[in-house]
């Protein structure tokens, strides 16, 4: 009887060890001298392989599978994986990013965690990283990585990107960078990074703002530490904020239609340094008269937005009328920021002005 009781205790203790958070998702042999890095997977090309039946790449591997394809990680960190979701990033939504941000914040609050790596599809990675930069309260490093080539391709880039991301999280340099997108050895800050290539491994860059750093031969080399971070609490919901692109001859009907349908804000993709034509200007004036906040971004990749022109539709006239310019943010990121801002209970026009001032 005593021996049977002892056996039950041993089995129960072993079962608890298996279920304990310290062991859940662990993929490398624990080394107390190394930091702990959590790799959270959301899907994307990095987790795909070619499927003959579908004639294309499909989701095929878990977080543990990804880590198994990256030799040497156990020499630089204790790795823990969390399979958050497994979808194409073209299917990402602000609600998914909100849940992702909450999960990453929960992980970062653990004292044993150095930082988090998020594997993510590249199509909307820049926006996802910016969402987390805006809503995360922890200052620990978070690195978004992915791949442009699947695991079935001749030379997959995912393993090297994951390895470099772990190096970055463990580097002292990463402590001041917050959320980054790190691909093909280049480190981009979440605010400025954009995907500029559809098929090449050198797909992300930060334009004239420059890279934060570069990773080579196991070293993180910093280039730039100038950071602008606008932090807002994680919202409970997202107001309806469409992104409307203007074009030559635009009469503003889509703006008026959106306003009449009850949208809570508008992101207008204009031209140049923040300009629209006269008809669009008048449609924006209509939106503002209905108490709908309007932010104007630009289709132009570089240079930012400035109130240069005072005629109808110029940036200066838009600001004087009560609209906001998106500064150095892309239209998609400016829309996300406006959605997060409008979800705050205490948001005012003056606070919006500060939020959209670089």
Examine residue 104 and state whether it is found in any structural domain, yes or no.
yes
**Residue span of the structural domain in which 343 resides:** 243-355
Report d(CA 221, CA 244) in Å as an integer: 40
- Highest mean pLDDT of the ranges 11-20, 69-78, 285-294: 285-294
User: 49: burial class by Cβ within 10 Å (0-12, 13-18, 19+)?
Assistant: middle
The CATH code of the domain that includes 266 is 3.40.50.40
Do both 282 and 341 map to the same domain?
yes
The CATH code of the domain that includes 41 is 3.40.50.1170
CB 215 within 8 A of CB 168: yes
The domain tally of the chain equals 2
More confident residue, 334 or 18: 334
* Average pLDDT of the residues in 247-257: 98
Examine residue 52 and state whether it is found in any structural domain, yes or no.
yes
Q: What is the pLDDT of residue 344?
A: 96
pLDDT class of 200 with cuts at 50, 70, 90 = very high
45 catalytic, yes or no? Answer: yes
* Average pLDDT of the residues in 223-238: 88
**SS3 label, residue 268:** strand
Do both 202 and 272 map to the same domain?
no
Write down the catalytic residue from 27, 28, 41, 45.
Answer: 45
- Lookup: tokens for 100: 């992702």
**pLDDT tens profile 19-46:** 333 334 666 678 999 999 999 999 988 8
Nearest one of 61, 207, 42 to 124, comparing CA atoms:
42
**pLDDT tens profile 50-87:** 557 666 666 667 788 888 888 999 999 999 999 999 99
Do both 265 and 312 map to the same domain?
yes
- Cβ neighbours of residue 191 closer than 8 Å, sequence gap 6 or more: 130, 133, 228, 229, 328, 329, 333
Q: Which residue has the tokens 């914040």?
A: 105
Do both 212 and 331 map to the same domain?
no
- Lookup: tokens for 44: 């994307």
Do both 28 and 176 map to the same domain?
yes
Q: Is the pLDDT of residue 91 over 80?
A: yes
What percent of the chain is helix, strand and coil (3-state, nearest 5)? 35, 20, 45
Q: What is the pLDDT of residue 8?
A: 41
Report d(CA 308, CA 160) in Å as an integer: 44
């Amino acid at each position: 009887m005593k021996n049977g009781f002892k056996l039950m205790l041993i089995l129960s203790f072993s079962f608890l060890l298996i279920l304990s958070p310290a062991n859940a998702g662990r993929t490398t042999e624990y080394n107390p001298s190394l930091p702990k890095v959590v790799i959270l997977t959301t899907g994307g090309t990095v987790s795909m392989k070619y499927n003959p039946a579908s004639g294309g790449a499909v989701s095929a591997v878990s977080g543990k599978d990804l880590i198994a394809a990256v030799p040497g990680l156990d020499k630089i960190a204790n790795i823990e994986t969390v399979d958050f979701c497994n979808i194409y990033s073209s299917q990402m939504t602000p609600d998914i990013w909100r849940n992702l941000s909450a999960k990453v914040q929960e992980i970062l609050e653990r004292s044993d965690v150095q930082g988090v790596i998020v594997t993510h599809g590249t199509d909307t990675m820049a926006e996802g990283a910016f969402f987390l930069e805006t809503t995360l309260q922890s200052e620990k490093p978070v690195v978004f990585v992915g791949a442009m080539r699947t695991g079935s391709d001749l030379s997959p880039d995912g393993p090297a990107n994951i390895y470099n991301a772990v190096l970055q999280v463990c580097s002292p340099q990463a402590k001041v960078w917050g959320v980054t997108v790190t691909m093909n050895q280049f480190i981009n800050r979440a605010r400025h990074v954009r995907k500029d290539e559809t098929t090449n491994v050198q797909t992300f860059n930060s334009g004239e703002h420059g890279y934060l750093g570069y990773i080579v031969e196991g070293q993180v080399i910093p280039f730039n530490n100038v950071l602008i971070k606008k932090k807002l609490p994680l919202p409970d919901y997202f107001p309806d904020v469409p992104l409307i692109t203007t074009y030559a001859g635009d009469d503003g009907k889509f703006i008026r239609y959106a306003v009449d349908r009850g949208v809570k804000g508008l992101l207008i993709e204009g031209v140049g340094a923040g300009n629209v034509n006269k008809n669009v200007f008048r449609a924006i004036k209509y939106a503002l008269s209905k108490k709908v906040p309007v932010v104007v971004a630009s289709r132009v990749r570089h240079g930012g937005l400035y109130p240069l022109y005072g005629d109808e539709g110029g940036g200066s006239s838009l600001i004087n009328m009560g609209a906001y310019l998106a500064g150095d943010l892309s239209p998609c990121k400016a829309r996300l920021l406006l959605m997060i801002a409008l979800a705050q209970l205490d948001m005012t026009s003056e606070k919006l002005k500060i939020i959209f001032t670089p």
